């Protein structure tokens, strides 16, 4: 067919500023990995922004291996401060249960020593237990996940 030319090879295609920026970022990573010094980096960045084709861009980074991937993030261990409200709720519930237990034991001892059941004053601790239960039920005292 007349008027048809050979297809353009990939290395001869014109490049855009976006492609130049990608190669420049690759050079930044190479400097950070110690593969290039600042003088080489400067020369190569100038060549990147002067490049007109993909082949010229490829030649700038041809001798640079990809830097190793960054190490995976360290596993997050739960520490005492991470439990936040969970720890506070456990402490409050333990204190409340201990106070109730002491009051019930004292009430039992007084009732047995008296020979008759006396007024169960420990029931006045129930409202504070209800407050703890409401706090926990609304999520205020639950540990963060």
Q: What is the pLDDT of residues 71-119, one digit of tens each?
A: 888 776 654 444 456 777 888 889 999 999 999 999 999 999 998 889 9
- Both structure tokens of 100: 């109730």
Q: Concatenated DSSP letters for the chain?
A: -TT--PPPPGGGSB--HHHHHHHHHHHHHHHHTTSS-HHHHHHHHHHHHH--BHHHHHHHHTTPPPPPPPPPPPPPPP-GGGGTHHHHHHHHHHHHHHHHHHHHHHHHHHHHHHTSPPP-GGGGGHHHHHHHHHHHHTTTTSPP-
pLDDT tens figures, 53-65: 999 999 999 999 8
pLDDT tens figures, 18-45: 999 999 999 998 998 889 999 999 999 9
- pLDDT for residue 87: 78
Mean pLDDT of 124-134: 89
Specify which residues 53 forms β-bridges with.
Answer: 14
Question: Is pTM beyond 0.75 here?
Answer: no
**Statement: residue 50 has pLDDT above 90:** yes
Mean pLDDT of 134-142: 76
pLDDT grade, residue 136 (50/70/90)?
Answer: confident
- pLDDT for residue 25: 93
- pLDDT for residue 10: 82
Instruction: Give whole-number Cα distances, 94 to 15, 50, 81, in Å.
Output: 69, 72, 19
- Both structure tokens of 49: 């922004």
């Amino acid at each position: 067919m007349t008027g048809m030319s050979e297809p353009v090879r990939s290395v001869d295609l014109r490049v855009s500023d976006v492609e130049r920026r990608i190669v420049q970022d690759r050079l930044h990573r190479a400097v950070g990995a110690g593969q290039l010094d600042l003088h080489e980096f400067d020369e190569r960045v100038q060549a990147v922004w002067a490049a007109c084709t993909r082949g010229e861009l490829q030649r700038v980074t041809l001798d640079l291996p990809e830097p190793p991937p960054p190490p995976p993030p360290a596993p997050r261990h739960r520490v005492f401060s991470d439990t936040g409200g969970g720890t506070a709720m456990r402490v409050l519930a333990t204190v409340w249960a201990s106070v109730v237990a002491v009051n019930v034991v004292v009430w039992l001892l007084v009732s047995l020593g008296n020979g008759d059941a006396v007024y169960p004053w420990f029931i006045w601790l129930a409202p504070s237990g209800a407050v703890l239960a409401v706090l926990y039920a609304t999520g205020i005292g639950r540990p963060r996940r």
